[in-house]
Chains A and B, each alone.
Chain A
Amino acid sequence: MIESLFSHYTYVLMFVILGIGIYMVIASENLVKKLIGVNLFQTAIFLFFVSMAYIDVEGASAPIVPATKDPGELMVASPLPQVIVLTAIVVGIALTAVGLALIIRIYAEYGTLREDTLREVRADE
């Protein structure tokens, strides 16, 4: 148990970051911090994908094939998860941009970024 925790510490790290992210989304009253929480949540998953490609193959290097004619047998990490993460990062950035645009609109209308204040302002209207 302890040994697998040491060799798989990136997984533990991933779940810690995941937990911090989701906690921020739930507990923070500040809309920008909520969005940061969502980002942290997503980043943890990206890290999980990348680390999973390395841990499955013992002693693997980055998936770059050397420019020699016959490189022979190479132990490299699976490149597929890394490609996936690149795509997912793009998606995440687009979402953050849309989210920030919405927050700017909300701030312009209500003059607050806090959810509890926002609730009061909307209840008054």
Chain B
Amino acid sequence: MSSVDLIIPLLIVAPILAATLPIALGLRFERTGWPVAGLTTLGLFGAAGYLASVVYTGGEENHTLGGYPPRYGIELVADEFSMLIVLLITAVATGVLAFTRRGGPRGNTFYTAYLLLVGGLLGISLTGDVFNLFVFLEITSIATYALVASGDGPEAAVASLKYLILGTVAASMYLIGVAFVFMATGTLNMVELATAIPAPETNPTLIRAGFAFITVGFAVKVAQWPLHTWQPSAYQQAPDGVTPLIAALVSTASAYAFGRLIVTVFEVDYLAATPNAAAIVLTIGCVSVLAGTVLAVIQTEVKRMLAYSSVSQFGLVIAAYGVVIAGSSETALIGAAIHLVGHGLLKAGLFLGVALVAASYGARTVDEYAGLAKERPFVAGSMAVLLFSLVGVPPGVGFVGKWYIALGAVESQLWPVAAVIFLSTMLTLAYAARLLEKMYFTPPAVVESPHATGAVATDGGDADDEESGDTDPTDDIGTTVPVTGTDTRTVSVGMVAIVVVAALGSIALGFAGGTFADLLEPFLTEVFN
């Protein structure tokens, strides 16, 4: 034990404490939100990088909060699996924050919600306590509801309320599951649960009921068909600068938590012996893969299309968990971890690209993307790379994840699952190709885009006033023009650069696929001993 283990609680506490600063300092000084948020996310990224280097060389680090023994207190754990997600969260948070400096939204309340969201997400990844996980899930959710509702127009509030009601019921389902498991075992610590659950004196009915409730809860949180209904409208109505963050991280962290519960708490062997557990998880995943892609193909709005694509991509991850349970396949777990990170990066890049295009041309539907490659070669090129990677074309990171998951399914001789994964690749191409065809091969339409990027005319006066009141004091760049027309001044080189970096990152991670497996190795041997 050294001072390294202090970094773990700091990663969670620092953003949550810093979240109070933009509003508190905003009472006295103007323009404090951006420096506070920027410094905090950069610091988190640095700390996460350092902690990762320690964990990947020296093994797992834990911190016991308040010195209470883990049986009663809360333990924070940084191991090989959680550090992957922590690195993804801090990296994407820094990138998206840099993008929003110019691309908006801005304002002290935005930065507060942003930091709260980052703190909650880091909490989900680092906690080693099942009840604490519930608290962080809810902190993340509350920040997400606020961010979604900050979108233009009243539709955002409706989308956010829908998300709130479904999300709260889902988190409560998870809490019931925790209650059942706690009733059977008397502990909430993940590691202690791992030893208490398979013990013969525990009541298997309670554990099974608990797992069932937890599965339903996470199926909503991860947006699995048919419980995904909150997700497309939330992604679509959220402000353009917020969607990348939500799409890349919120469901990813929930999916990670579900995987963590499966492999660390319930343990693969126990679930494999539980009747139907593997079949149910596999079915949820596979059905979501197919339903998500089919729904994505028929969408006209780019943001909605990408949202439905998330349903199917997370379906792949859940299906991989099913393979892990059914065949106790290490390969599938590596695949799930890579796909979580890869999908997070891809969706962040794609939604940032969408935000860029919407800011410069007001284009929101697939048809309006016609001729983008001529107008903005770098953005179109990056989006093409990201889309190909999402489909699973080899050098991209999407390929590596899918490859490992499919390999795991084949190794475990789960042929229907392998078939679904290969079929999903083809279906993903169906919607990716629509966008690619528009960008590269359709000449731009002559008519001006009917959409204005600024506030919609139907927007009530109230909300407008409130928003400008929020943003004006913190408009740190004096030149920022209110986005009203289809001009390109709102897009800076830096914003384009961030999208390009995301595209390059997806390829670099694709080449580093084998490294992931090496990094996860100690964790896998511990789980599958």
Contacts and interface: CB of A to CB of B under 8 A. Distances in A.
A38 B161 CA distance: 12
Contact of B168 (A49, A95, A101, A109): A95
Contact of B182 (A34, A81, A102): A81
A34 B169 CA distance: 11
Nearest to A56: B183
A116 to B, nearest CB: 13
A103 B161 contact: yes
Interface stretch (A58-66, A68-76, A84-92): A84-92
Nearest to A109: B154
B416 interface: no
Contacts, number: 82
Contact of A108 (B131, B135, B186, B462): B462
Interface stretch (B12-20, B142-150, B219-227, B304-312): B142-150
A122 B158 contact: yes
Nearest to B146: A98
Contacts of B393: none
B509 interface: no
B453 interface: no
A22 interface: yes
B458 to A, nearest CB: 6
Contacts of B183: 52, 56
B179 A45 contact: yes
Contact of A25 (B131, B138, B169): B169
A12 interface: no
B165 A41 contact: no
B179 A105 contact: no
Contacts of B154: 105-106, 109-110
Interface string B130-143: 01001100100110
A41 B172 contact: yes
Interface in A7-66: 22, 25, 31, 34-35, 38, 41-42, 45, 48-49, 52, 56
Nearest to B156: A105
Contacts of B149: 101-102, 105
Interface string B165-190: 10011001001100100110010100
B172 A45 contact: yes
Interface residues of A, number: 35
A78 B186 CA distance: 9
B163 to A, nearest CB: 10
A87 to B, nearest CB: 6
Nearest to A121: B154
Interface centre among A81, A91, A108 (most CB of B within 10 A): A91
A22 B169 contact: yes
Given A35-B165, A41-B169, A91-B138, A106 B157 contact: yes
B160 interface: yes
Contacts of A49: 179
A38 B460 CA distance: 29
Contact of A88 (B141, B164, B175): B175
A41 B161 CA distance: 17
Interface string B68-83: 0000100000000000
Interface centre among A49, A87, A95, A106 (most CB of B within 10 A): A95
A42 B175 CA distance: 9
Interface in A93-113: 94-95, 98-99, 101-103, 105-106, 108-110
A87 B458 CA distance: 41
Contact of B161 (A48, A80, A88, A102): A102
Given A84-B131, A95-B142, A106-B158, A52 B179 contact: yes
B411 interface: no
A86 B101 CA distance: 39
Nearest to B164: A99
Nearest to A49: B179
Interface in B446-475: 458, 460, 462-463
20 contacts: A25-B165, A34-B165, A41-B169, A41-B172, A42-B175, A45-B176, A45-B179, A52-B183, A95-B142, A98-B146, A99-B168, A102-B157, A102-B161, A106-B161, A108-B460, A109-B154, A109-B157, A109-B460, A110-B154, A118-B158
Interface of A: 22, 25, 31, 34-35, 38, 41-42, 45, 48-49, 52, 56, 78, 80-81, 84, 87-88, 91, 94-95, 98-99, 101-103, 105-106, 108-110, 118, 122, 125
Interface of B: 72, 131, 134-135, 138, 141-142, 145-146, 149, 154-155, 157-158, 160-161, 164-165, 168-169, 172, 175-176, 179, 182-183, 186, 188, 458, 460, 462-463
